[in-house]
Structure 1
């Protein structure tokens, strides 16, 4: 056990109380599943945010393997007022990793709950536990010759569908809006009761994974990006593999082309000519994923000049913007839609179409094609090599799918990032009518001055985008309280009222999405 003088204690819990709770946890889970030593806890302190690891150091880590254990854990937590921070795989690196949201919280790690409970090849549904990874589910489908396709974020192989969906992540296939494709949750509430949403509360019901709504209020969304319950099972829909899959890229030479690109893509997306979540990635995003390092071109600190960006674009045979999309269906469907896409690009008078036959196995086309066809990979981790130093924070505002809006957001973001000596590394993900604008604020976390600049930069991004009426849809744990403020007091009053009703002892992930009964707003 940790030296008592070194032990980080949960907020409001004294050492004697915590030791009693730990004894009960060890009796319940076995000592091997209650991690207390510094070396054991250290992997759960790894963060990429602009704050010290001490701010996100857990007091202990618990590993549960059954729903019944999770129920008993929350009962012990209620008895001693122990706050727990639940993770599934803990692989959301740009949003906080496996570290708890607040110092001293106990991490509840569910990665050992990793059973694929059911896959229905006829109804195209799956039911999984929190620890199931996309790679594990992909391998299961392949090994059993089940012709279904996954959708996931990138990099995907080590992340999991339950955790990603609970945080409302997105992917790159026609099923890329992951929460929309979720159907049925099982949740352990703060008092230890088990709730099944949708049709799941009816004993023996067979429609849990096919009918989302059930009867009465639909509750699933309330538990996403929240701290009202611990999700122990999730159902979701899978896409049948199409007979024909045609990925393609459109390269654009000028940064100013973004407005025209979006105006061309939007009607094709809304009409479902292009059925998947289209990506519009900038030069640095694509260059970095192919392991291009800033040090290959520059030694001095600061923002990368546009002249260097143009040189990288030329050297790596990339566009200033690189658009990735795909067509799915029968050969007849794909042929018709491909003609429509070709005509749309021709009408623009700019943009170079690249097919899979032309690109071959070259990167980044290869990994993009894999993402759009549901094949997991880890290619996008190359982003972290651009500057090095382990600093990464996702800034993810949403806008309408309008060219003028995207151009405005890109210009504003680049100006702020460059002001703080950092680079605009971004992509737009085109939903049906919205744009998820994902920017990776990359910096050298080993450099205190650059870390301070990154922190100031992220704060300014939030402030200036809010002034223009833009807000983010996800954020790392460093800035969750700040983002909650953007959404106003009425929303927060409702969220805290639900928290008081379901979790009066405030034991489930205090601070998640700014919901914390200990911190009035």
Structure 2
């Protein structure tokens, strides 16, 4: 029996002893973790699978890019696979745990410097461990009039990790990778690459011009295992002189068609410039209530119970949150256009901040739309209790008919497995991210088994209808990659072999292996 919690695949205990000794020589003993009790945070998943499938063998915590390079060299020498994380708060997608058992977690949280903020050009350069809260505080403390775009559970997560997993936010800069500019990457051979203009010595345009010269490379380091991103540039939004959040509440599930058809022309014309979110009542309720406050029956939350809850609380079955950004004069004109569009649609109750009053859910959404920090969305995990969460996130066209079709498909499958339809649509310019949180009691074997079967059925049926997910949890990465076909898997493997012939960086990430 090994003295370690797990061993890396293909690595003997003796070889692992040697690798750990070399990590300790580089990082110091306090930053190399093998004790079972100290590894618990790196294996605290919320997915409907056994923790043991994702148990790390150790965790190493470098404090500089040079230490990352030296540790990667050790990994290469001993063929030890390493799973890099930034803050490790990837809840619902796998948290900090590696995709496969035995990988060494490389925890980059000690690398938490804000290296530069340019208030004139509205750019920043950050390390992996920087959190959105840290960035927000830096802007506030230094009276820099710039806004972040952050995901919903924002305070304890970081812009680098969220961006390289192609996460989204709720401001006009909500498509985070689109507003990323320049990366520093430790490659699998321990060499250092700076993408875009960063490859040029003494460049001062690294954070302002994305493309550089020749093939654009930043994209291959997102949702991949081709390198370890140690610095990232991002664009920040100038604080507008006037911001006007509002909500449109719809009273019937089928009204999602009207909501999307009303919104899309306004979104594409930039009348509404931000990444709009259309929130289902059960997601809305999960931020403020426990499930048992409104439903105690067996099986999934029923449509009748949703309607009763909506009438009791005053929320909509669908709740569309958006904002206007600009000068007061600009927003006056835009507001008349938005009001006219909603009135012409014949559905929806449009409410301003003043009309909503002290609604904490509205305040939470208004904060997100201006990049203010909160952790309110973690209230979802109290909806059912038991710590189970598994996010399913297919992409839809921004068409009402497509959105209705996805909702009906999802509800049918979820309800068959006794799981509630807790969902929202995040609206881009032409697409919609349909984010569904499979919430279940992970201490209940039957609920856990149902959630696993439900996710698999969702994935297979949505793929059969031509709907792919944009982001996947670690338990299903191979199955998601299969949905995208052999050609894509082969090119991913070809790049992996070329850049990482020993397969040491995050094997299995996004279903990418050196062989297929």
Given the two structures, how large is their TM-score scaled by the length of structure 2?
A: 0.99
Q: Which residue of 1 aligns with 2:329?
A: 332
Cα deviations by residue, 1:280-320 (Å, 9 ceiling, x for unpaired): 00000001111x11222333431111111112112221100
Q: Could you tell me which of 157, 160, 163 is aligned with 2:161?
A: 163
Matched, 1:513 2:510: yes
Q: Could you tell me which of 61, 64, 87 is aligned with 2:62?
A: 64
Q: Which residue of 2 aligns with 1:279?
A: 277
Cα RMSD (Å) of the superposition? 0.9
For 1:248, what is the secondary structure of its paired residue? strand
Q: Could you tell me which of 416, 426, 429 is aligned with 1:429?
A: 426
Which aligned pairs between 1:251-400 and structure 2 lie closer than 5 A? Answer: 251-290=249-288, 292-400=289-397
Matched, 1:401 2:405: no
Cα deviations by residue, 1:412-453 (Å, 9 ceiling, x for unpaired): 000000000011011011100001110101111110111000
- 4+ long deviations beyond 4 Å: none
CA distance in 2, matches of 1:120, 1:6: 46
CA distance in 2, matches of 1:193, 1:359: 54
Q: Could you tell me which of 119, 122, 139 is aligned with 1:121?
A: 119
Gaps of 5+ in 1: none
CA distance in 2, matches of 1:312, 1:288: 12
Which aligned pairs between 1:5-20 and structure 2 lie closer than 5 A? Answer: 5-20=3-18
CA distance in 1, matches of 2:307, 2:360: 19
Shift of 1:187: 0.2
Which aligned pairs between 1:450-489 and structure 2 lie closer than 5 A? Answer: 450-489=447-486
Q: Which residue of 1 aligns with 2:210?
A: 212
Contact 2:4 2:57 survives alignment (8 Å): no
Contact 2:441 2:447 survives alignment (8 Å): yes
Matched, 1:91 2:89: yes
Contact 1:287 1:316 survives alignment (8 Å): no
Matched, 1:490 2:487: yes
Shift of 1:354: 1.0
Shift of 1:360: 2.8
For 1:424, what is the secondary structure of its paired residue? coil
Shift of 1:6: 4.6
Contact 1:127 1:236 survives alignment (8 Å): yes
Which aligned pairs between 1:96-175 and structure 2 lie closer than 5 A? Answer: 96-175=94-173
Given the two structures, how large is their TM-score scaled by the length of structure 1?
A: 0.98
CA distance in 1, matches of 2:275, 2:131: 21
For 1:94, what is the secondary structure of its paired residue? coil
Contact 2:4 2:34 survives alignment (8 Å): no
CA distance in 1, matches of 2:245, 2:293: 31
Q: Which residue of 2 aligns with 1:444?
A: 441
CA distance in 1, matches of 2:73, 2:200: 25
CA distance in 1, matches of 2:2, 2:480: 36
Gaps of 5+ in 2: none
